[in-house]
Amino acid sequence: MKFGKEFAAQMVQEWQEAYMNYNHLKTILKDILRSRMLRGAPSTVAAATSHGSLKRRVSLYRAFSGLTGRYRGSPRKSEDEVILVSAAQESGGDEHYQTFFLNASDEGGEYELVFFRSLDGEFNKVINFYKKKVEEVMGEADDLSKQMDALIALRIRVDDPVVGGSNIANRAVPGFSSVSASVVHPPINSTNPGWSRMEVIQEVELSAEANSEDSNKGTINENSNSQRKTKGYKKDMKTFKPASLEVLDHVKINVEPETPVSTVKNVISSSKSDLSYSKEELRKAEELMTHAFVEFYRKLRLLKSYCFLNQLAFSKIMKKYDKITMRNASKSYLNMVDDSYLGSSDEVTKLMERVEATFIKHFSNGNHRKGMNTLRPKAKKERHRITFSMGFFTGCSAALLIALVVLIHARDILNSEGGPQYMDNIFPLYSLFGFVVLHLLMYAANIYFWKRYRINYAFIFGFKQGTELGYREVLLLASGLSVLALGGVLSNLDMEMDPRTKSFTAITELIPLALLILVLVIIFCPFNVIYRSSRYFLIQCALHCLFAPLYKVTLPDFFLADQLTSQVQSLRNLEFYICYYGWGDFTTRTNTCSGSKVFESFYFVVALIPYWFRFLQCLRRLFEEKDSGQAYNGLKYFLIIIAVAARTAYDLRMGMTLKIFAAATSGAATIMATYWDIVVDWGLLQRDSRNPWLRDKLVIPNRSVYFVAMVLNVVLRLAWMQTVLGFRQTPFLHRKALTAIVACLEIIRRGIWNFFRLENEHLNNVGKYRAFKSVPLPFYYEDKRV
């Protein structure tokens, strides 16, 4: 792989604008090469490409400089100098480097002058960004240090360890930092009963260790050695300074998990509560600190990678320059890079070592392997069995689908006497699984294109590293579910009843219900099978939607609620399951649901529930974020609620008045929702953009894709017209089939919306360099003097 592609592949995508623009500098070098070739000037690349008979590079015919030349130095004459680099400190604290090209008067030197100016611009951008990020992580390190002070003090207060029979909590030294202080390991042969409780905190004072090692050295007799050890331990006891407990007087704790009850309490009182010094409180604080350290360590790793990749990029581009121009400018420039803050700073490396040591001691009980596995989770591996299983189930689905079509056509089932009966009763049961499979297929396609265009969907959704599903896994779930559903459809094609009992075989009629129960059991299965972390993540987001607005609204929560608004027909089918099987209609393959007032009421309410979730989420975000845009978004969903209610009422009751009201409200809701989709969620239709009527940054090179997506969004949103304008039945389609087609069109529209919605979110993160999620810390310092 060429370096340019490897460089782009290893970038932190949210920082891509802060990396050296390698491709731009390569373009300038190509201009230099082209100008030299037009002038007939010699260059290594030109010589290698223009003379086909020359098998070796021109550089291989230069005078040999000796094997030890680079060690004894390579003397150069002053007239061979190509560039001079100067550094200056700007008023804002930023460093500014400027390269003076000494051969600008040469023919074609203007191209090289442009190259070095661009090179300086890129280097200044990189070094100032890196310096800013290092300052940020150093500030975060100070905050984590204060959090560790409070955590260790809380450990002492809760665990109440004893040294030499005296309580540590009563021997706290005021003003002493717990991060720099440590508890000494107990001596092996100690008879002091207090040492047995010191294993609560496994800290080692470095100075005490050194003194202890000095006291154990030497080749003296056993008595003398024993005396020295005793003195060493006494000295250790003198140097032992426990963590200060005064810090607990200046902090409050915020470890209560967010629940509907806690949200109501926080509205009434402050969200920061006083310490109760309970073990449960300590456990939750340690969990939050563990998560904070893992995320902080990830920041340091990415920052170190940023530094290394940019240094390598400058080295590569300068060597390309030397190769094209046959000059020797790379050494001077790369020496400057090495001496700069980018090449000489070691704060990140030292901080990583300190974080590793602290995490292993405090959160892994000294287990290095366990600690490092937590800090550096292994990358997810692609498994061949997933690809094989996906292909196998896909083939089975295709075979079953073909068999189903052939069987229906051969027996002319839909035109038979039991055809309408089947469409009214069995088709809605299985169409539920069809909607779910289609949504999974759209989601798999979204993941594929997100990965292709390097959209960091795992970070945006907040998936735990290594647990996010790829498109192969999602396709495996979709194909597996389709095999089960199609197999059930084939088993329910029999239209014949028992003439004596006038009922169908109960086992066959219960297949859809059994399949639904199986799916629900898999979703809520507590065992670590079938992507448990992803299932739990889905359940958690669903609960947040269900109890809106009592949970803080995050992107996965409102993203899932948006998916539910496109699955209204699935929710209605679930209601039909309850009616069809709950009232025993499945024995005669008929239903009395449509004549029930209770069913009609729930049929009306179920369609509004997903939009009501989104409306409440908008209110919660408006209350927390004070963003007026959420008020308009809430108004949009309120209009949709009215429109859906009007369309449902017209569908159940008919009437010209309801038809006019449904058409008017649906038209207003469609206009506002379409505008919100395209302008706000997708960020398109910007008049002053570099890409007319799109946005400045696009991840898809072909701009026509965005215009096609906008047109499709408008067209597919008008699918509600079939319920308002009377296109409720066609000569060749049953009403239930037409309803299912409209529902499928809405799912397809939602799948298209998903891609561009996440693309816009990704570009917003890129524009603000947001590559990390904010992590809540357990302790809140009231007094800044602490």
Given a cut of 60, is residue 145 above it in pLDDT?
Answer: yes
Query: In terms of domains, do 352 and 432 share one?
Result: no
Q: What is the mean pLDDT of the chain?
A: 80
Instruction: Please give the pLDDT value at position 215.
Output: 40
Query: What value, to the nearest 5°, has the Cα angle with vertex 405 and ends 396 and 390?
Result: 20
d(CA 178, CA 146): 9
Residue 225 lies inside a defined structural domain of this protein: no
Given a cut of 80, is residue 629 above it in pLDDT?
Answer: yes
The pLDDT of 420-443, averaged and rounded, is 92
Instruction: Please give the pLDDT value at position 246.
Output: 80
pLDDT, tens digit (0-9, with 9 covering 90-100), for 344-396? 888 999 999 999 999 999 898 888 999 898 888 777 777 889 999 999 999 99
Percent residues over pLDDT 70 in the chain = 77
The pLDDT of 481-498, averaged and rounded, is 81
Residue 568 lies inside a defined structural domain of this protein: yes
How many domains are there within the chain? 2
pLDDT, tens digit (0-9, with 9 covering 90-100), for 407-418? 888 888 777 777
Given a cut of 70, is residue 68 above it in pLDDT?
Answer: no
3-state secondary structure of 179: coil
Query: In terms of domains, do 621 and 575 share one?
Result: yes
Given a cut of 50, is residue 206 above it in pLDDT?
Answer: no
Query: In terms of domains, do 394 and 323 share one?
Result: no
What CA dihedral angle connects 315, 318, 324 and 326, to 10 degrees?
-110
The pLDDT of 512-530, averaged and rounded, is 94
- Domain end among 354, 377, 400: 377
Locate all alpha helices (DSSP H) within 548-627, ordered by sequence. 555-565, 568-582, 597-625
Choose between 116 and 783: higher pLDDT: 116
Residue that has been written with the tokens 């970038």 in this structure: 11
Query: In terms of domains, do 5 and 116 share one?
Result: yes
Mind spelling out the 3-state secondary structure of 542-560? HHHHHCCCCCCCCHHHHHH
d(CA 43, CA 45): 5
Locate all alpha helices (DSSP H) within 596-698, ordered by sequence. 597-625, 628-653, 656-675
Residue 596 lies inside a defined structural domain of this protein: yes
Which tokens go with 494?
A: 């029999």
pLDDT bracket for residue 501 (50, 70, 90) = low
Query: In terms of domains, do 642 and 688 share one?
Result: yes
- Domain end among 339, 354, 377: 377
Query: In terms of domains, do 475 and 538 share one?
Result: yes
d(CA 685, CA 472): 34
**Among 161-165, 247-251, 482-486, the range of highest mean pLDDT:** 482-486
Strand partners, 162: 167
Query: Running DSSP on this structure, what letter comes out for residue 92?
Result: T
pLDDT bracket for residue 210 (50, 70, 90) = very low
d(CA 670, CA 639): 9
Which tokens go with 297?
A: 């360590």
The pLDDT of 239-252, averaged and rounded, is 71
Given a cut of 90, is residue 108 above it in pLDDT?
Answer: no
Pairing of strands 95-101, 83-89: antiparallel
Distance of CA 488 to the CA centre of its chain: 37
d(CA 185, CA 194): 12
Residue 444 lies inside a defined structural domain of this protein: yes
Instruction: Please give the pLDDT value at position 433.
Output: 96
d(CA 297, CA 669): 47
Query: Running DSSP on this structure, what letter comes out for residue 366?
Result: T
Residue 779 lies inside a defined structural domain of this protein: no
Query: In terms of domains, do 359 and 394 share one?
Result: no
Is 531 in contact with 516 (CB distance < 8 Å)? no
Which tokens go with 488?
A: 């059930």
Which tokens go with 612?
A: 């009501």
Given a cut of 60, is residue 655 above it in pLDDT?
Answer: yes
Query: In terms of domains, do 458 and 605 share one?
Result: yes
- Domain end among 321, 346, 377: 377
Choose between 640 and 102: higher pLDDT: 640
Query: In terms of domains, do 428 and 455 share one?
Result: yes
Residue 75 lies inside a defined structural domain of this protein: no
Query: In terms of domains, do 474 and 606 share one?
Result: yes
Which tokens go with 390?
A: 């996906």
Given a cut of 70, is residue 50 above it in pLDDT?
Answer: no
Is 332 in contact with 83 (CB distance < 8 Å)? yes
d(CA 233, CA 304): 41
Cβ neighbours of residue 493 under 8 Å, at least 6 residues apart? Answer: 404, 407, 408, 411, 413, 422
Percent residues over pLDDT 90 in the chain = 41
Give the least confident one: 145-154, 175-184, 265-274. 175-184
Q: What pTM did the predictor assign?
A: 0.81
The domain containing residue 324 runs over which residues?
A: 1-50+81-172+242-377
Locate all alpha helices (DSSP H) within 364-418, ordered by sequence. 368-375, 384-411
* Residue 168: closest CA among 280, 244, 233: 244
Q: Quick one: 107 exposed, middle or buried, by C-beta within 10 A (0-12, 13-18, 19+)?
A: exposed
Residue 200 lies inside a defined structural domain of this protein: no
Residue 232 lies inside a defined structural domain of this protein: no
pLDDT, tens digit (0-9, with 9 covering 90-100), for 720-760? 766 666 555 566 678 888 889 999 999 999 999 999 999 99
pLDDT, tens digit (0-9, with 9 covering 90-100), for 154-205? 888 888 766 555 565 555 444 334 443 333 333 333 334 333 333 333 333 3
Query: In terms of domains, do 299 and 393 share one?
Result: no
Instruction: Please give the pLDDT value at position 557.
Output: 95
Query: In terms of domains, do 653 and 557 share one?
Result: yes
